[in-house]
């Protein structure tokens, strides 16, 4: 998928969802314009990756590739994800070496969107991040941009079929870097702390 087509698709997505949702963004100035980064977000709805990719591309010259579980790379959805440059990961084994290597290779060329908690959940608050996220953040040599997505659990809850008209806020935090150590879970927890602070700032 060319960058021009990618941007057009993102614009159409913003225009379409903007008719159903009251979307606001904060902190978009923290998104690097022309260098790879890790975009790390909470995950409450299937709308999250769609919104994040569509709104992040408006601020960067590089297409954002979402990390997706292996089970999604089937049929038309799999074709679409590959067109976006999505990276398939093994969510069950959060230290899967092949998945981490794929992400590290991708990060040499473009930003990657990850959800440190793993899959979508309907629990109140945030889940603990996967340890592999800490390994990735330490070894990728790119900044981590924490982002909070607030309101999508009301717009399209887990298992929901129809989008409800609600307010949705995307809050991008300042870039973070993490020193190399063997405390990968500690780094993953630090990333989730940044995301949680952004979630609280939306109130």
DSSP string, 14-61: HHHHTTTSEEEEE-GGGS-SSS--EEEE---STHHHHHHHHHHTTT-S
Q: What is the pLDDT of residues 154-172, one digit of tens each?
A: 998 877 788 999 999 999 9
Residue 94 confidence (pLDDT) above 70 = no
Pairing of strands 144-150, 112-114: unpaired
Query: Is 19 exposed, middle or buried, given 0-12, 13-18 or 19+ CB atoms closer than 10 A?
Result: exposed
Taking the C-alpha atoms of residue 132 and residue 115, their distance in angstroms, rounded to an integer, is: 11
CB neighbour list of residue 104: distance below 8 Å, 6 or more residues apart: 136, 139, 140
**Which pLDDT band, with edges at 50, 70 and 90, does 201 fall under?**
confident
The structure tokens 């991708």 sit at 106
Query: pTM to 2 decimals?
Result: 0.90
Q: Are 71 and 42 in contact (CB under 8 A)?
A: no
CB neighbour list of residue 185: distance below 8 Å, 6 or more residues apart: 129, 131, 134
Residue 77 confidence (pLDDT) above 80 = no
Query: What local confidence, expressed as pLDDT, does residue 91 receive?
Result: 57
Task: Summarize the confidence of residues 162-186 as an average pLDDT.
Answer: 94
Query: What local confidence, expressed as pLDDT, does residue 96 receive?
Result: 65
Query: What local confidence, expressed as pLDDT, does residue 95 receive?
Result: 55
**Which pLDDT band, with edges at 50, 70 and 90, does 185 fall under?**
very high
Q: Are 112 and 65 in contact (CB under 8 A)?
A: yes
In the chain, what are the domain boundaries? Answer: 30-152
What does the mean pLDDT of the chain come to?
88
**Which pLDDT band, with edges at 50, 70 and 90, does 76 fall under?**
low
Task: Summarize the confidence of residues 24-29 as an average pLDDT.
Answer: 96
Query: What local confidence, expressed as pLDDT, does residue 93 receive?
Result: 54
Query: What local confidence, expressed as pLDDT, does residue 187 receive?
Result: 96
Residue 137 confidence (pLDDT) above 90 = yes
Task: Summarize the confidence of residues 68-79 as an average pLDDT.
Answer: 70
Query: What local confidence, expressed as pLDDT, does residue 148 receive?
Result: 97
Pairing of strands 144-150, 167-172: antiparallel
136: tokens are 């990735």
- For residue 67, the SS3 value is strand
Query: What local confidence, expressed as pLDDT, does residue 120 receive?
Result: 82
Query: What local confidence, expressed as pLDDT, does residue 66 receive?
Result: 87
Strand order of the β-sheet with 87-89 is: 22-26, 167-172, 144-150, 38-41, 112-114, 65-69, 87-89
Assigned fold of 30-152: Glycerol-3-phosphate (1)-acyltransferase (3.40.1130)
């Amino acid at each position: 998928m060319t960058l021009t087509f990618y941007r057009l698709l993102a614009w159409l997505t913003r225009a379409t969802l903007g008719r159903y949702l009251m979307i606001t963004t904060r902190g978009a100035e923290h998104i690097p314009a022309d260098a790879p980064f890790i975009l790390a977000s909470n995950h409450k709805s299937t709308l999250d990756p769609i919104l994040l990719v569509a709104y992040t591309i408006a601020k960067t010259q590089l297409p954002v590739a979402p990390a997706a579980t292996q089970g999604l790379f089937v049929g038309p959805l799999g074709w679409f994800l590959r067109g976006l440059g999505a990276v398939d990961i093994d969510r069950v084994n959060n230290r899967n070496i092949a998945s981490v290597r794929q992400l590290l290779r991708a990060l040499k060329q473009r930003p990657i969107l990850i959800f440190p908690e793993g899959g979508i959940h309907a629990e109140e608050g945030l889940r603990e991040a996967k340890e592999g996220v800490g390994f990735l953040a330490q070894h990728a040599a790119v900044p981590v941009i924490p982002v909070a997505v607030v309101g999508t659990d009301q717009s399209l809850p887990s298992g929901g079929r129809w989008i409800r008209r609600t307010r949705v806020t995307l809050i991008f935090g300042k870039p973070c870097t993490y020193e190399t150590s063997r405390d990968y879970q500690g780094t993953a927890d630090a990333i989730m702390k940044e995301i949680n602070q952004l979630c609280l700032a939306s109130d």
